[in-house]
Amino acid sequence: MCIRDRYQRRVRGRQAIMAELRVLVTGGSGLVGQGIQEVVTERPEDADAGNCAEWLFAGSKDGDLRELNDTMALFERFKPTHVIHLAANVGGLFKNMKYRVEMYRDNMAINDNVLAAAHKQGCVKVISMLSTCIFPDKTAYPIDEDMVHNGAPHSSNEGYALSLIHISEPTRLLSISYAVFCLKKKKKKKKKKERCRK
């Protein structure tokens, strides 16, 4: 099989897989969710933007993800194969400082419920969005993913930050996927020599 044939076979296989994709974006009405929606609707010819998939955008009016029953119902309704998890109880500096416990509890519940529903639904992958606020207050720059657990986040947003940090372990334990800062190790592929026949 020549390179051209292999490429065409790979493209056909990718198109078949992409046709079956149902990507649920939680927090779809937020800033990042709207950005994703803009990309996938304004560039339909661009397969790299994921337009071979069915995109489903869920906002807070579609269900309260702090409640397990609402979250399970949302996943049952949309039946996603993949999830981009953006939903969170977010706020500015003053909200984070005034409602530390509520920010922690709400976001822990949202994260736990989304992961549980994705696992029950049989989702292939969950990508969870994190924030730079998860990094330790006292750290060296530039920062990278290996530094997340090297200290406590800044006290002004610790409830929100800790809820994001804690999504990595249940995600790993459920074997759904890895959060952004838990990277999968790439497997080495054996190279095969093939010649193109004329």
Active site residues: 160
Question: Which residue has tokens 């800062």?
Answer: 181
Position of tokens 């950005």? 35
With CA atoms as reference, report the closest residue to 36 among 129, 118, 101, 120: 129
How long is the chain? 198
Is residue 105 classed exposed, middle or buried when 0-12, 13-18 and 19+ CB atoms within 10 A define those classes? middle
